Chain A
Amino acid sequence: MKIDGKEFEVDGDGFLSDPYIWNEEVAVLFAKYDGIEELNEKHWAIIKFIRKNWEETGMAPMIRSICKDTGLKLREIYQLFPLGPARGACRVAGLPKPDGCV
């Protein structure tokens, strides 16, 4: 997958093949690909919490934990990441694609 001239190795759904090569620049470019032109403070709070949770537990956090940690309302999170917490936020945070109906 190519964004702004940079090449990324991703799975069929556009999730990073190697989550460990993730950095903030990747987040900015992946978000841009989804139509999010600029990541604001709230975006970053969500991304950083998801990333931290994954690094510590190997799992994407529950939406409840994301709301609790960031202090954001549920509906705000869906507005910030129109593709939702999984295909939107987790992908931008460099996680592998979660299993299930997402």
Chain B
Amino acid sequence: MKDNNSQKHKAIKILSESKDNKLVTHLNSCVHCGLCAESCIYYLTTKDEKFIPARKVNLISSLYQRYCTFTGKHFPFLTGARNLNEEIIDEMVDQLFGACTLCGRCNMHCSVGVDISYVVRAGRKMLSEMGFVPATLQSTVNAAIQTGNNMSIPVEEFTDTLSWLEEDLRDEVNDPHASIPLNVQNTNILYTLNPREPKFFPLSISAMAKIFYAAKEIWTLSTSMYDVTNYAYYTSNNNEAEVIAERLYNEMLKLKAKRCVLAECGHGSRAFRWEAPNYLRKSFPFEVITSVELLAEYISKGRIKLDKNLNKETITLHDPCNLVREGGIIEQQRYILRNAANNFIEMTPYGIDNFCCGGGGGQLSMSEYNERRMKIAEIKTEQIRKTGAAIVATPCHNCVDQLIQIDNKFKLGVKIKTLAEIVADAIVLE
């Protein structure tokens, strides 16, 4: 346990000197109705009251009371104010990092509209200032900052992997000139990747390359900055989030691409498309879209031709929280699946009321809370089982990994695929 007063002071400053009116309002608005409890996968699967989202807000508002209000400063016992000490820090780490996927489902169900995950992120920011980010999560941020991608892939191994995939692409489309272009300037699209794609799961890269080929797109990948993730979004360390976001921003300017297309990655899309202009304090002179929107656009404009009979198995869809509930990208993935597959069925609930897979909010990388992560996954498991689908599609690599683990642990017998893989399988080349 670190006990450093200047670090604590910095953490309290997040509350006391905050010009963030939203935070102050949302910290002080909870009416303790308890509706959020039934929306949270941690509470629903454990019935442990400490996991009720309002309790998480309460941890931070009790500190706000103690250090930022007259009564709390002078008569803390009257307001439930708490000192920032070892005890509350342990509770904050356990509940804000270890028991929240930032899925935002509680926000939707809050009777007075408190943005609970916003408050949780402010709590994570305080912990980050004090050096209490779980080691496994921080190590992924460090890898990204030190090596340029969160899996520390050396450039040479990355380029070797892409030329290997390029050969496969040429075989697949039967065209010796088909390519995966690298570091090309003035293209329509700079495409990004989740580093787990080149490292371990490249089928989605091959799929997107085939789609770009079919759409006759002018696109490129960058070998120096392709990582779509930004794990500093999860640690709420905005300085580190800014470093990572600025690299992609600069790469866009360097390569003079018109659009930045974000790979199927929930938090990465959120971090670069919706948060990064705030991290960098500027609006972007280029367009940023998710590949989900791009695929829908290719289909609606007739730039790719699909035969949905090529995907015969029943497919259900898992909605990544960051894209759907937070980002409002809801219809495009359904439009894609209805056009690319014969039999698409929804799980219940779906869309903005869907349940998190359990791997969000950085949980997938935090080994410390692995047991809880698999416990909260019981809800998603039952949702999938009830559909009877053979394939679960999801436009998020983080969700893909969690769903692979769910499939293995709970013996679902389903295949997990990205949207690009499903679209690529349905493509008819002209």
Contact = CB atoms under 8 A, between A and B. Distances in A.
Tell me whether A and B are bound partners: yes
A30 to B, nearest CB: 13
Given A62-B157, A74-B202, A82-B408, A100 B371 contact: no
Interface string B364-401: 11111111000000000000000000000000011001
A76 B397 CA distance: 20
Interface residues of A, number: 28
B195 interface: yes
A87 B405 contact: yes
Contacts of A39: none
A100 B136 CA distance: 9
A34 B409 CA distance: 8
B404 A63 contact: no
Interface in B251-285: 265
A99 B365 contact: yes
A5 interface: no
B117 interface: no
Interface string A55-74: 00001101111011000001
A34 B199 contact: no
A83 B404 contact: yes
Contact of A100 (B157, B202, B229): B229
Nearest to B372: A12
Given A34-B408, A74-B202, A97 B196 contact: no
Given A63-B202, A64-B164, A101 B370 contact: no
A77 B81 CA distance: 55
B222 interface: no
A12 B370 contact: yes
A97 B136 contact: yes
B200 interface: yes
Contact of A101 (B157, B367, B398): B398
B16 interface: no
Nearest to B368: A12
Given A59-B152, A64-B161, A12 B200 contact: no
Contacts of B365: 99-101
Given A84-B200, A99-B152, A35 B157 contact: no
Given A82-B408, A101-B194, 10 more contacts: A35-B408, A84-B401, A97-B367, A99-B150, A99-B151, A99-B152, A100-B151, A101-B196, A101-B365, A102-B401
The 3 closest A-B pairs by CB, nearest first: A12-B367, A12-B370, A99-B140
